[in-house]
Amino acid sequence: MAFRRLSLSLCQTLEKAVIRQNIGHVRCMSTSAKAESYTKVLDDEKGIRTIQLNDPKKRNALSLNMLEALRDNLTTGVDDLRVIVLCSNGPVWSAGHDLKELTSKQGRDYHRQVFNTCSEVMTLIQDLPIPVIASVSGLATAAGAQLVASCDIAIAAETAKFATPGVSVGLFCSTPAVAVGRAVPRKIAMEMLLTGHPISAQDALLHGLVSKVVPDDQLETETKKIAERICETSREVVALGKATFYAQMSLERKEAYRLTSAVMVENLALGDGQEGIKAFIEKRKPTWSHRNDKVH
């Protein structure tokens, strides 16, 4: 992100880092056989894309094929989307990497490809201009927990559990620790990483790994409610706000305020920024353009 280079023009920075990201400009859904065999994807009329991890026989493991399918699903035909929801098929949300791919037989180059692709997908989720919601039922472990922690919002069923158990099989969860360690307090992260013991959905909520816990039979409804609320807002304002949030989190406080103050001025220059304020004053619902048009 260009946000750290505060000496550059803010407008140029936002153009490069937020508004003009090359996330994918194909309006049709991907039809690759690989993507279809590992995930199921549904776009609705409101702009909500649901991506279901669909390899329950392998506990929705994040194999290289699954990761490549996810990358495809996250980048293809997203121009008109408002929200992406990640869910799963089966009792395990995701068991993390497929350990059969991590033996010496595959070799270092293959292992490097697996982890590089995984890191690319996790980073992509937060770089996308649209919110990504994890809707978690069952068990999310290792890179599965990493995927949950990487999402902007995570809704968990009451029976969901989360763990980073790599240490138990001799492979410390170092890459999952990047996302998990940024979502929960350090000592909680270290306990999860060093013991491999799972935590409950309520503990995950307490420590910040998920944003809400609901009864199992209400998970889909609650996820849909949050996604539809986001759809009521301006796409461009959300894109600007999401990118700015992640950028300022890595800055010192004074730099964070300097950045966000400048961004709010730019937000006010957007047509949708002025439309929202005008609608509030006139006591009506705003009519969003969802465009990056500047009015002053």
Q: Residue 32 has what pLDDT?
A: 53
Helix (H, G, I), strand (E, B), or coil: what is residue 28?
coil
Helix (H, G, I), strand (E, B), or coil: what is residue 49?
strand
Q: Is the confidence at residue 20, as pLDDT, over 90?
A: no
Q: Residue 157 has what pLDDT?
A: 98
Q: Is the confidence at residue 1, as pLDDT, over 90?
A: no
Worst-scoring range by mean pLDDT, 2-16, 56-70, 112-126? 2-16
Q: Residue 30 has what pLDDT?
A: 42
Q: Residue 33 has what pLDDT?
A: 55
Q: Residue 37 has what pLDDT?
A: 83
The rounded mean pLDDT for the chain is 90
Q: Is residue 104 very low, low, confident or very high in pLDDT (cuts 50, 70, 90)?
A: very high
Of 84, 72, 69, 68, the residue nearest 24 (C-alpha): 72
User: Would you tell me how many other CB atoms lie within 10 Å of the CB of residue 103?
Assistant: 10
How many angstroms separate the first and last alpha carbons of the chain? Answer: 25
Q: For 75-98, what is each residue's pLDDT tens digit?
A: 999 999 999 999 999 999 999 999
Q: Residue 34 has what pLDDT?
A: 56
Q: Is the confidence at residue 176, as pLDDT, over 60?
A: yes
Q: Is the confidence at residue 18, as pLDDT, over 70?
A: no
Q: Sign (positive/negative) of CA torsion 251, 1, 116, 163? A: positive
pTM flag (> 0.85)? yes
Beta strand segments in 91-198, E: 92-94, 132-136, 139-141, 153-157, 161-163
